[in-house]
Amino acid sequence: MSKTKHMQTPLDKKAINSLKAGEEVLLSGTIYTARDQAHMRLSGLITEGGKLPLELTGQVIYYCGPAPAKTGPIGSCGPTTSGRMDPFTPMLLDAGLKGMIGKGRRSQEVADAIKKNGAVYFIAPGGAGAYLREKVISCVTVAFEDLGPEAIYKLEVKDFPLVVGIDTEGKDIYSKL
Amino acid sequence: MKLREIQARTIEKTVKELCIKANTLLREDVLQAFRAFFDKEEENTLPKKMLKVLIENSEIAEEKKLPLCQDTGMVAVFIEMGQDVHILGGSLSGAINSGVEEAYTEGYFRKSVVKDPLMRDNTGTNTPAVIHVDITEGDKMSISVMPKGFGSENKGKIGMLNPTCTQDDIIDFCVETVKKAGPDACPPYILGVGLGGTMDQCALLSKKALLRPINESNPEPHIAELEEKIKERSNALGIGVMGLGGISTVIGVNVKEAPTHIAGCPVAVSLCCHALRSASAEI
């Protein structure tokens, strides 16, 4: 196993370029949750030329619909399946998004868009919602509150454990599966 | 024959407790399998590290009464109701749904059920539950709840194979289902396999199969052999924990069989993520 890298959001170009598929990363800083319905709305806004509820440039989106907080900032909050976001992803990357966190495979179109935009796709341990919740410092609703667990939440995370799934070269850890 | 009376409130309370237990306390058989596979994975590898994360996740969930996974699922409820039972003070489905709602509100579980597949408005209660009732002899009622996440539910498959199919054809179908799910649905997986019956019954069998502890084989030797072979071939795929390789792709296979028709051999796979959650009680 290679050495774990510590990274901070927003992601700068140099840091992203240094990442290689399969490397372990501990990510700290701000990340935004968004899953199916939020992606549909964001892509709708981009298509219509409307104003987005968050500035995507350099940011990281986490495919997650958290459980409500019992104590502390948030409930269990593991990743959801990334593939369902594939149809919307290239558009978001073109709009400035630099990182995504989820679980599972991405389409060739997404891998190509990652390479084209110098972005990165991370995977987080799926089904470890209670474990990952311990890495979240704060949680604030940013947009689409009516969507409940599918709203966009701004999370501050500390040492969020990730593995690089697709790097800026478009290299995919799952390409052999 | 005197009927045994069970209060709807008792059913409601039992369902609530079972939902909370299932979502926060990892099944002992699943935890044992994590530990066994952890011991067998190669040292200093990502899959071994990730299995440790899963074990730690179950410890945090138990200690803090947090859901193991944020996807606390749509709840399947399996009822075996003795025909000498009479329910008082409400309906069976009403009591079950009230119990689910209370658990998901008081347990701070995510409400993931939408009322209409196209309109997609959240019901806000995680109900309705999917309720299956079998009428049995006697005056007891057994209740099992299974909250299953949809990341893995989306990867389930059913195949109507030919009656002349071989054991290998059935294994191929199951292994192909695992291969298609790949790293997407939180491996290591547990497979509930329905074999026989009709199409609808076969799908239900595949769900019910997941209730059996994964360290117990099917009592029929030829079915137990099938379980073992599906597991062995699935683990040769090398998908592994989170798709990071290694030997832990499928940590349990439970087949549940039923009589079928001369013209067919239905096979259904309920592919379950590593967070296989269920709890049972008898009233």
User: Within a domain: residue B44?
Assistant: no
Comparing C-alpha atoms, which of B70, B147, B192 is closest to residue A126?
B70
User: Within a domain: residue B252?
Assistant: yes
- pLDDT tens-digit readout, B24-50: 999 999 999 999 999 999 999 999 999
Quick one: B96 and B206 in the same domain? no
Q: How large is the average pLDDT for residues B216-222?
A: 98
Per residue, the 3-state secondary structure of chain A, as one string, reads: CCCCEEEECCCCHHHHHCCCCCCEEEEEEEEEECCHHHHHHHHHHHHHCCCCCCCCCCCEEECCCCCCCCCCCCCCCCCCEHHHHHHHHHHHHHCCCCEEEEECCCCHHHHHHHHHHCCEEEECCCCCHHHHHCCEEEEEEEECHHHHHHCEEEEEEEEEEEEEEECCCCCECCCCC
User: Within a domain: residue B63?
Assistant: no
- Write the CATH number for B105: 3.30.360
User: Within a domain: residue B258?
Assistant: yes
User: Within a domain: residue B47?
Assistant: no
- pLDDT tens-digit readout, B101-135: 999 999 999 999 999 999 999 999 999 999 999 99
Q: Which of B110, B128, B148 represents a domain boundary (last residue)?
A: B148
Q: In whole numbers, what is the pLDDT of chain A averaged over residues?
A: 95
Quick one: B112 and B174 in the same domain? no
Quick one: B18 and B106 in the same domain? yes
Q: How many domains does chain B have?
A: 2
Quick one: B241 and B137 in the same domain? no
Please report the domains of chain A, with CATH numbers, ordered by start residue.
5-166 (3.20.130.10)
Q: Do A70 and B68 touch (CB under 8 A)?
A: no
Q: Is the model's pLDDT at B176 over the cut of 70?
A: yes
Quick one: B157 and B112 in the same domain? no
User: Looking at residue B72, what is its pLDDT?
Assistant: 97
Q: Is the model's pLDDT at A164 over the cut of 60?
A: yes
Q: How large is the average pLDDT for residues B199-215?
A: 98
- pLDDT tens-digit readout, A77-90: 999 999 999 999 99
Quick one: B206 and B223 in the same domain? yes
Q: Is the model's pLDDT at B230 over the cut of 90?
A: yes
Quick one: B97 and B232 in the same domain? no
Q: State the pLDDT confidence band at A12, using cuts at 50, 70 and 90.
A: confident
User: Within a domain: residue B84?
Assistant: yes
Q: Do B60 and A130 touch (CB under 8 A)?
A: yes
Mutation test of the interface with chain A: which of B23, B59, B70, choosing the one with the most A Cβ atoms within 10 A? B70
Q: How large is the average pLDDT for residues B146-166?
A: 97
Range of the domain at B235: 150-276
Closest-CA distance of chain A to residue B55, Å? 9
Q: How large is the average pLDDT for residues A112-131?
A: 97
User: Looking at residue A176, what is its pLDDT?
Assistant: 80
Quick one: B16 and B129 in the same domain? yes
Quick one: B73 and B15 in the same domain? yes
Q: Which of B116, B148, B180 represents a domain boundary (last residue)?
A: B148
- Catalytically active residues of A, by annotation: 39
Quick one: B119 and B228 in the same domain? no
Quick one: B19 and B120 in the same domain? yes
Q: How large is the average pLDDT for residues B148-152?
A: 95
Residue of A nearest to B273 (CA): A127
Q: Is this complex's ipTM strictly greater than 0.85?
A: yes
User: Within a domain: residue B9?
Assistant: yes
Q: Do A76 and B69 touch (CB under 8 A)?
A: yes
User: Within a domain: residue B123?
Assistant: yes
Q: Which of B148, B163, B184 represents a domain boundary (last residue)?
A: B148
Could you write out the DSSP letters of every residue in B138-181? Answer: SS-EEEEEEEE-HHHHTT-EEEEE-TT--HHHHHHHHHHHHHHH
Quick one: B143 and B9 in the same domain? yes
- pLDDT tens-digit readout, A100-116: 999 999 999 999 999 99
Q: Is the model's pLDDT at B204 over the cut of 60?
A: yes
Residues of B in contact with A64 (CB under 8 A): 70
User: Looking at residue A1, what is its pLDDT?
Assistant: 55
- pLDDT tens-digit readout, A47-99: 999 999 999 999 999 999 999 999 999 999 999 999 999 999 999 999 999 99
Q: How large is the average pLDDT for residues B153-165?
A: 97
